[in-house]
Structure 1
Amino acid sequence: MSIQLTTEETILRDKIVVLMEKIKKKFDQFSIGNEVHEFIEEAGTLSHQLHMSLKERNHEPRHHKYMVKNRELAVEHPDFYKHVHPIEDLLKFLDNEKANDDPVDQTIGCEFKFEIYTRRWEHNDIYTIKRTQDGWHVSFKMINGPCDKGGNPFLYRNFDQDSVSYPSGLEYWLESLWNQAESKGLSQVEVQQALDELAKWVVVTEKNAPSGGVWGDY
């Protein structure tokens, strides 16, 4: 459902649209000079005015959490809109109040399997990983506990306990998965599939670690 604008708000929106068309044309021409910055500055100022006008009428524009986080400014700050992306989202909001609503986080409290292989015991082990408000809860035999979004500390304590080799980037990708589950509202199936991919990565790393010869005791 689109927002019903006042006459003054309509004028502001139309000016913003014209400026955005000019900005996009410059981008298409790979021209990012002073003129583009001036267009963005002007469009940002007008967008702020439009935002505050809508807020006064109880129609304050909403933005995705990541947008507010990336801008590192409150939405009411005069400089918040001095960037192309929040201006684009403002225009989307005018056409549809729900356009910038964040997806519902579906998997807090859900349990997942994380199946790896250990050369030490020559068989597969299945860890239980629950997604929590702050990260993950890892459970496997005697080493269990709450972890951050990257799996620290208990996922890696389990690996170290059984001398499992794992990719150095695992922490980054596990944290990325947690964040995507929140921001994109990933389903339980999607999160499990992603964890399966990460677990296979661990298996490949473990199976391809040096062995035999001088590495016989590792």
Structure 2
Amino acid sequence: MSSTSRFKMQIYSPQWEDKDLYQFKKTKRGWEFENYRCKGEVDKGGNPLFYKALVTESLSYPNHLEEYLSIVWEKVEVLNKEQVQNIFDEISEWISASKNGFN
């Protein structure tokens, strides 16, 4: 599969009562990450920008999310785009289902 594919997460934000879009594209050392607030290179686990974006939106996330994203990064070349996007969809639901809202 081509590593030029962009993968999307749509994560529910209680602050806006809607889903925010987060995009990932595999690079040699990690991901190119983008959402409406920021864009830049992150490591295989999504650090630091992805987590800063989640915290800024007052979103909590599962403990092993960084490890899970790293595993997805490793598998991008062996799975097809639909399979990888399905994993990102599951991660989106996982984060959206976490106890969100720190206030």
Is the TM value for this pair above 0.5?
yes
- Count of residues paired in the alignment: 103
Contact preservation (8 Å) 1:149, 1:174: yes
Shift of 1:144: 1.2
Q: Which of 148, 152, 167 lines up with 2:62 in the alignment?
A: 167
Q: Where in structure 1 are there 5+ consecutive unaligned residues?
A: 1-105
* Alpha-carbon RMSD: 1.5
Residue 107 of structure 1 contacts residue 186 of structure 1 at CA under 8 Å; is this kept in 2? Answer: no
Matched, 1:198 2:91: yes
Matches within 5 A, 1:49-198: 106-182=1-77, 185-198=78-91
Structure that is richer in helix per residue: 1
CA distance in 1, matches of 2:27, 2:12: 25
The answer to which structure, 1 or 2, has the higher relative contact order (CA under 8 A, 6+ apart) is 2
Report the Cα distance in structure 2 between the residues aligned to 1:161 and 1:172, rounded to whole angstroms.
Answer: 21
SS of residue in 2 equivalent to 1:168: coil
Deviation beyond 6 Å, 4+ runs, structure 1: none
Deviations 1:177-199 (A, max 9, x none): 111224xx111111101111111
Instruction: Tell me the SS of whatever aligns to 2:12.
Output: strand
Once residues 52 and 25 of structure 2 are traced to their aligned partners in structure 1, the CA distance between those partners, rounded to angstroms, is 17
* Partner-residue secondary structure (3-state), 1:163: coil
Alignment-derived partner of residue 58 in structure 1: none
Q: Is the 8 A contact 2:62 2:95 kept in 1?
A: yes
Whole-Å separation in 2 of the counterparts to 1:164 and 1:202: 8
